[in-house]
Amino acid sequence: MDKKKRRFLMRSIILIVLFGAILFTVYTTLTKEKNEVLQIGDNAPNFTLVDMYGDKHNLEEYKGQGVFLNFWGTWCKPCEREFPIIDRYYKEYKEKGIQVLAINIAESDFVVQNYIDRKGLTFPVLIDKNKSVMEAYNINPLPTTILINSEGKIEKIITGEMKEQDIKSYMEQILPD
């Protein structure tokens, strides 16, 4: 086989592989299952996660209560500023039917437990190890807080840091009747 034929054959093979890669990328992008963006009034997607003490928390079990669902990371400075305030109001409102669930995004048990111990947090902290809950709720950026009313519907979606008066107001907003 002469040089021109080999060069033509190699170029043809490369073009076929590139064309196949482009087709595969287009196909996977078009057929990829996307989670719908959650809206106020939507049912909150159910999930089951385990807290740092090994207890399972299933969101549906909290129907009848208001749920303050907070997505966070140990490296997140706004999260660090919010937690003492959230914890203080959790202690005040838990007897009135408010549940705080803090969902850490895929960090190790050791890192999260160390953080909880240092901060003295009393509300349940869950770890979303495979990011399935984060994806179901389309969480980006951290912190993000989802307020869920006693019927299991989304009342409000807050992205970014909350101030003390906001946290208190949000907990009052989801108080069960």
The confidence score (pLDDT) of residue 94 equals 95
The angle formed by the CA atoms of residues 128, 138 and 109, to the nearest 5 degrees, is 15
Average pLDDT over residues 160-166: 96
Q: Are 143 and 70 spatial neighbours (Cβ–Cβ below 8 Å)?
A: yes
Least-confidence region, from 11-25, 52-66, 147-161: 11-25
Task: For helices 77-93 and 164-173, give the axis angle rounded to 10 degrees.
Answer: 50
Task: Tell me how crowded residue 156 is: count the other CB atoms within 10 A of its CB.
Answer: 13
Structure tokens at 119: 């901060």
Average pLDDT over residues 77-102: 96
The separation between CA 117 and the C-alpha centre of its own chain, rounded to angstroms, equals 22
Q: For 18-41, how does the pLDDT look when each residue is reduced to its tens digit (9 = 90+)?
A: 888 888 878 766 665 555 678 999
- Record the pTM: 0.79
The confidence score (pLDDT) of residue 74 equals 95
Average pLDDT over residues 106-110: 94
Instruction: Provide the β-strand partners of residue 97.
Output: none
Report the chain's mean pLDDT, rounded to a whole number. 92
